[in-house]
Structure 1
Amino acid sequence: MLFLDYDNSLKEFFISGKPIENYKSETINNLITNEHCGAVIQQYLKNVRISGIKELEEVLSNREGDGNKINCLMKTKDVEYYIFGVLGEPFPNDNGYWVLNLGNSFLSFITLNIYPSISRHPLRVNFYIYDSKLNRIDDL
């Protein structure tokens, strides 16, 4: 099973912007309704599943609810935009290249790994950009 390594975050490789943890706040943003916040967070968790909960703790004051509805209150942060990055699958479907990978793996097996088995997959990342009121602006 693949786990996220929170000690080696990808956030440091971004040229501009700061991680949300750098913006401290304990007040509630009353401009974002509970329903709107819940819809955005539910969509984010649908993509990242349980791995996104740690990041959400930085922006949510209260997160609770069942699987169908999330009650949440956004903390007030002095930011103009929120950018949610969602990494793609670590081992995506090869779209038919599994035959080549199988041949490569078989060759590696019969040569006792003298000929190494190699498989490459491009990294897929989606970025969702929201304004300070959690209105979706753009996707990259």
Structure 2
Amino acid sequence: MKFLIPILITILGCNSYTSYMVPDSKISTSKPNKKIALIGFMNYEFQMSNDRQGRSYRSSASIDYDNSMKHLFPTGKEVSTFNSNNINNQIGRENCLDLVYEYLNIVKDSGERELKKFIEYNLTPDTSKSSCSVKSNNVDYYILGVPGKPFNSRTNYDESFFGYLKSALSVLTFFLVPSKQAEPVNAYFYVYDSKLNLIERFVYNKKVIITTSWWFNLNENEIEFNDINQSIIKSQENITKEFYFDFNTKY
């Protein structure tokens, strides 16, 4: 049954994707007087390759530089706007390297263009010989935003016993009874102080709800789409808005 459902969805199903929405209690209108440098905040996708045994693995990644989500954090500014002509000697090499490796370990070489807006670095196999220095000054907080395309596979929306019964009923009725699955949507935000000491890591694990039915009437609006990528990006935008509220509430 577990393997039959995706096949039947492909043949018979009509999918509607419902994005994650920000709770009304977490819509922020406050604009605190802080100097916040934003790094990242751009969606990325994994490139998949196969090893000799045919198993898939994430070989690389690519960032969508044309669609930034930084505008959804209105009290922050593009990190390069804080650049000066001099190296910031208040930020040590180790802290600089920690941020560089944190980002590149996820988005791979596609993140170099973003980092080099405010960092000069040279990475070597022997990390003790790697150089790293920051060009920005006069910043209260640096925030690294990583809203990425999820890697985890879809799951049943309701993983209880009754949830699986509903899924089975959906297949048996050829999706006359709608079937629901969940696509994970994740985002991570790293908050650093003025010296690039990591203060806190915010983790958001949300999901897109996928409704499948051959008769389902798609009613595309701000939360519902007929394309999974649109719904994922909308969800990540809403997660960024939620993080904006959470950050302002705490800092």
TM norm. shorter chain > 0.5 = yes
Alpha-carbon distance, 1:22 to partner:
2.3
Alpha-carbon distance, 1:91 to partner:
4.2
Q: What is the letter of the counterpart of residue 138 of structure 2? A: D
Instruction: Report the counterpart of residue 193 of structure 2 in structure 1.
Output: 131
Where does structure 1 differ by over 6 angstroms across 4 or more consecutive aligned residues? none
Q: What's the TM-score once normalised by structure 2's chain length?
A: 0.42
Distance 1:44 1:3, change over 3 A: closer
Alpha-carbon distance, 1:53 to partner:
1.1
1:50-97 residue CA offsets vs partner (Å, 9 max, x unmatched): 22211111121x211224523111113221000001123344223578
CA distance in 2, matches of 1:6, 1:42: 19
Q: Which has the higher strand share?
A: 2
Distance 1:76 1:5, change over 3 A: closer
CA distance in 1, matches of 2:114, 2:88: 18
* Contact preservation (8 Å) 1:35, 1:71: no
Instruction: Report the counterpart of residue 75 of structure 2 in structure 1.
Output: 16
Alpha-carbon distance, 1:41 to partner:
1.6
Q: What is the Cα-based RMSD across aligned positions, in Å? A: 3.0
Q: Which one of 40, 45, 49 corresponds to residue 108 of structure 2?
A: 49
CA distance in 2, matches of 1:8, 1:63: 25
- Say whether 1:73 aligns with 2:133: yes
1:107-133 residue CA offsets vs partner (Å, 9 max, x unmatched): 8xxxxxxxxxx9762421100000010
What does 1:28-107 align with in structure 2 at a 5 Å threshold?
Answer: 28-60=87-119, 62-69=120-127, 70-95=130-155
* Contact preservation (8 Å) 1:91, 1:121: no
Identity %, equivalent residues: 37
Secondary structure, counterpart of 1:5 in structure 2:
strand
Secondary structure, counterpart of 2:183 in structure 1:
coil
Q: What is the letter of the counterpart of residue 64 of structure 1? A: N
Q: What's the TM-score once normalised by structure 1's chain length?
A: 0.71
Instruction: Report the counterpart of residue 115 of structure 1 in structure 2.
Output: none
Q: Which runs of 5+ in 1 are unaligned?
A: 108-117
* Contact preservation (8 Å) 2:190, 2:198: yes
Alpha-carbon distance, 1:16 to partner:
2.0
How many positions carry a matched residue from both structures? 125
CA distance in 1, matches of 2:136, 2:151: 37
* Contact preservation (8 Å) 2:190, 2:200: yes
Larger RCO, structure (CA 8 Å, separation 6 or more): 2
Larger radius of gyration: 2
